[in-house]
Structure 1
Amino acid sequence: MDQKIAHIDKLSGKILVFGGVYSNLQALEALKQIAEKEHIAPGNCICTGDIVGYCAQPEETVQLFKLWGAKSIVGNVEIQLREHAEDCGCEFQEGSRCDGFSQLWYPFAQSKLSENSLDFLKTLPNNLHFKFAKKKVTVLHGSYFNVSEFIFKSTLWTVKQSNFEATKADVIIAGHCGLPFHDLEGGKTWLNPGVIGMPPNDGSPNVWYAILDDSKENFNFEHKTLNYNYKLTSKLMQNGILPQEYARTIITGIWDNTEILPPFETGLQGFGIQL
């Protein structure tokens, strides 16, 4: 498989992992402050991709990310943007509401990004490998085989297992699906820290990330919620161009639709995150 893969020999201490900034500058600012408060170096802050997305400040978000010095892999959105593709590559069903919304926010993001930001996106690898707490860790977006594949807590373990076999990882940190979860089996850990750009359909405006630590040389992780200035994010999205349904989701914490979700995750809408 032709992929650009970044290798880091070893990381230690606390690691902040997150996904889907989605052009949400206010959430990124708040998360950067958390990292600084926790004394987590930029090199130990890792994004699972989709720095750009649904919200109103794509250029400002990429520039802050670049200034921060955190690490990221590419999501499907970065791949499409840097290749000047016509759509976001999310593999939404044609004619669906998500597909229709993407025809609004994706061209908006394209129109706002500078060449400097696009050049930065071109530097991002497809996957990231490192050793941490005696574990081999791989960071990917959707799956190793398909950057746009949605993998959830309810996704069969056999699907996840094939990713472990391909990457030879003990831990996979993934993004794309928008929901935080972890799944453990046979000494392997699939961890999705969630996204910070959009709430996870749980009825709260707060967003999610995770912190890893190697205390006592063990692999430990904790899911965390992030409170930020979501009212400003929503207000900025009400610009007559972006989907107002997404601006509303920023406030309510409820998705406009559950088209991408399996039955189990659909049934949890508005009932909080079940970890």
Structure 2
Amino acid sequence: MSTTSALEFSNLPTDTIGKIIEKCDLKEQLTLRKVSKDLRSLVDKQKIAYKSITIYLTDSYISCVYNDKDVVYASENWDKNEMPIETSIISNDDYVKIALNDLSIALKNPKLRLDDLYLTVYNSPDEEETLKIGHQKKERKESEKYRVWSNGSKQLTAGYYFGFFPSEFLMHFKRFVIYKWRVDKDFLMNLRALFSTSINFDSCTVESNEGENGSEYLESFCEKVGSGRDVIYCYKIPDDSNKMLEFKLYGCQMIIEKKNF
């Protein structure tokens, strides 16, 4: 692209540039984001509402398939000769940060209506863990360690990866099942902030692998209203006179529900 054509493009009205960006495919949009800060901002405002996102994490690169567009993020010295010619390759020694930023932009889209989200982590040639988000299907794959299904209501079941999802994405779900190695104060404070502001939240079950239920942390911001076998803590949601979060403890299990006073 010549200097003259670049200037002509940049001088177009913002609405016109937005319409051009909207018609670009993913690879073209990613290219435009590198041109200038203004173009990056305009591209990010378009925020394509992807229906399918597949993520493959390996030791040497990250592959993301947005709808049917394959983007590989890798270091500058990574050998890309074996990749298909239609694959968009982003080479940068800070490729992990770039990949996470692109994923964050996609997942924060308020118009997001995913049919499928796959996250596959290759720990070794013989082992993989896959997070699948999509509509409930009959087939059950052993490699799907975490599942999310949607059949009128929405539930997210997750473990270690839960903390990596942006809150804008988590706001879509009504119910949660979280497998946590250790329940600490930061984790509970983050849940409190998320569930207090979400208009969709109904309930959450937290299972702790260490056998700790976080009761000592709940006492710092909740009122204890039960004792004995069923220990209950209540947190009144600010700016909402009729709603509270109820934390009910059963051994290493915690059940959180949004209830009326």
Please indicate, yes or no, whether the TM-score normalized by the shorter chain is above 0.5: no
Tell me the TM-score normalized by structure 1. 0.26
Q: Which has the higher strand share?
A: 2
Tell me the TM-score normalized by structure 2. 0.27
Q: Which has the higher helix share?
A: 1
Q: Max radius of gyration: which structure?
A: 2
More RCO (CA 8 Å, sep 6+): 1
